[in-house]
Amino acid sequence: MSDTTTPAPDEEQSVDDWASALAEQQNVVSAPVTASAGASVFQPLAGAPQTTTRNDIDMILDIPVQLTVELGRTKIAIKNLLQLAQGSVVELDGMAGEPMDVLVNGCLIAQGEVVVVNDKFGIRLTDIITPSERIRKLNR
């Protein structure tokens, strides 16, 4: 009696599939890359739309953002908050005549002064915060 067994036809097919898959992998791994350093080895997709950076900004122009003008802030105890009624005055840390902060989505972008035009309040921007100033204020 022989100790060697012959694989069943299904097992033989499975072994052949694995052998061919491993051979393909070896061919892909050992294939030299012919592209120079930094060059793309991918081909552009057929039918893919070509975009330009000039049109990229147009995609976001209609996105709404929250613009907030902040007169000032204060901290008060809950018992004082509960005592507020119509006509109550809350003292803010901002001084009269000081520039007010203009925030977009909670991020300071400018400062300005209050104006009244046709019985409506508005703000005249007096100082635009540069990105470097915004970063400097974040680090404080």
Give the model's pLDDT for residue 6.
Answer: 56
Regions of the chain with pLDDT less than 50: 1-2, 35
Phi, psi angle pair for 48, to nearest 5° = -75, 135
**If we measure between CA atoms, which residue out of 68, 61, 62 comes closest to residue 108?**
68
Q: List the CATH number of the domain containing 111.
A: 2.30.330.10
Q: Does residue 93 sit within a domain?
A: yes
Q: Note whether residue 85 is domain-resident.
A: yes
Q: What is the pLDDT of residue 128?
A: 92
Task: Indicate whether 16 belongs to any domain.
Answer: no
Q: How far apart are CA 47 and CA 129, in angstroms?
A: 43
CB-CB contact of 123 with 114 (8 Å) = yes
Which 8-state DSSP code applies to residue 93?
A: S
The pTM of this model reads 0.49
What range defines the domain where residue 102 resides?
Answer: 66-139
d(CA 123, CA 116): 8
Instruction: Please count the structural domains in the chain.
Output: 1
What pLDDT was estimated at residue 80? Answer: 92
Q: Is residue 127 part of a domain?
A: yes
CA distance 112 to 129: 11
Would 33 be classed as within a structural domain?
no
